[in-house]
Amino acid sequence: MSSRPLPRRPQPSPGRWGFGAALLILVATLGSASLAVIPDLLLGDDTLTRRIVGQLGSMITQNAVFVALPVVIIALLLQARPAPSAFGLRTPSRPWMTAGAVVVAFVGYLLISNLLGSLLDVGDRKDSQPATLGATESVAAGIAIALGVTILAPVGEEFLMRGVVYPGIRDGLSSRIGPWAAIAAAAVVNGLIFGALHGATDLIFIPMLMTFGIVLCLLYQVTGSLYAPIALHLTNNTVAIATALEWTVLEGLALWLSAAAVLSFAARVVGAGTRSSRAGAPEAGGSPVA
């Protein structure tokens, strides 16, 4: 008897890249991303302007590597150009249901996060990363860093962790332990890695970040679109940095709308590029399984 197809909405086809390839891509990408410190080192921190520009340059470099290198490695492994849909870059077929799933996931994560915060006695402690990046030095610095963490980080981190690593682990395990167990195991492993990668921040927040990584995986699994976890990641980062910088609700909303507008435009560009390439060279996206 043939095995059941993966549950929930369409995902990249099983076997397209497996557990080993996903971990290889993760290690290679993180190793190459270490070069992201070069802009920061070159500019130095003699002045606030140099420091902020250096930080933004490093963020741009890191997240560009998070997207570009996995695409190159997968293209070499498959000996074909992967379609954007292979990484989940597809417009949701039911946008309002996807938006609802994002809201439910965010509320659920907030509830779990608050519970973990109580258990860990986090109290009023705030994430120290915005201050480390220089966001608290001036209004302009705060706006620049806030835009960076709400636009660049959601795209780069979601592409690597949910668009590449999660489906690779899931599909690699599916034939061994079944689709449902593979989904759960891949989400947990992905969450552990995601939390560990943010270990440079206050260690007390790592369990919350691990939980967030798991929620992002499940949201991607349910919706079948990487745009859903990107939207959730954007929302979470907006709340986090607006809280850390003690911004008003209106200021936080303005940040969210600005970042969402930029990412919506980028999604339209990706969609237009995908449509124009269908009649071109063969792609490795294939037909998603139900």
Give the predicted TM-score (pTM) of the model: 0.86
Predicted local confidence at residue 263, as pLDDT: 95
DSSP 224: -
Query: Mean pLDDT for each 10-residue chunk of the chain (290 residues)?
Result: 47 63 94 80 73 86 94 91 91 92 96 89 72 79 92 96 96 91 96 85 82 97 96 96 92 96 93 61 35
Q: What pLDDT does residue 279 have?
A: 46
The H-assigned helical ranges of the chain are: 19-33, 37-43, 48-78, 95-120, 129-133, 139-147, 153-158, 166-177, 179-197, 206-223, 227-244, 249-277
Amino acid at 181: A
Dihedral angle sign, alpha carbons of residues 247, 248, 252, 257: negative
**Helix spans in 79-205 (H):** 95-120, 129-133, 139-147, 153-158, 166-177, 179-197
Cβ atoms < 10 Å from Cβ of 27: 10
Tokens of 53: 């520009």
Instruction: Look up residue 204 and give its DSSP letter.
Output: G
